[in-house]
Amino acid sequence: MLRIAASAKTIVRTASLEAPPLGIRVLPRLYHERVVDHYDNPRNVGSFDKNDPTVGTGLVGAPACGDVMKLQIKVDDKTGKIVDARFKTFGCGSAIASSSVATEWVKEKQIEEVLTIKNTEIAKHLSLPPVKLHCSMLAEDAIKAAVKDYEAKRASASAGGQTTTGEKAATA
C-alpha cells in the first residue's frame, strides 16, 4: 500500500515538473516562510468558555471565499490586559496564519493597544499576496469583535450589578 502511494507521489511530482507548452509561462505560487510556519504550527488553537465574563469572542467570516474565524481573548478585569488568546479558523492557510499571528500579537497587551493592530501590519508581517489580504482583514475584524464582545459583557455585568445594588438599597 505504501509503495503504491510513494509511486503515485513520484508520478504526480514528475507530472508537475513537465515543461508547459511553448509560449505559456507558469510561475509557482509560494507562501512566505512565516505563513507556512504558522500554518504548520499554529499557535493558540482552541477556545474558551464563551459565557466566561472575562472572555470576549469575535466571530467573523468572508462569504466570498468561505473563511470563518473565531478569535477569543481572556482579559484580566483588574488590569485590562489580555492574558490569553485562542482561535479556531476554517479557511485557507493564509487565514489560519493570520489568526495565529493575531493571537500572538494581542497577548499581554492592553485592550486599547490591540485595537490599533491593523490588517496591513499582519499582511506585511506574513508577506501576504494581494489576493490574500482579506485574511488579514478578517483577523483585524476578529480582534475588534472580540474586544467589543468583552466590553459588552463588562457593561452588562456592571449594569446588572448596579441594578442589584439599587434593589438591595430600596429593599433595606
Q: Which residues does the annotation mark as catalytic? A: 65, 135
CA 144, CA 56: separation in Å to the nearest integer? 10
Q: Which three cell numbers stand for residue 86?
A: 485562542
DSSP H or E segment with residue 54: none
Q: Would you give the DSSP letter of residue 20?
A: P
Give the CA dihedral 108, 114, 118, 122, nearest 10 degrees.
20
Label residues 6-31 b or e (16+ Cβ within 10 Å = b): eeeeeeeeeeeeeeeeeeeeeeeeeb
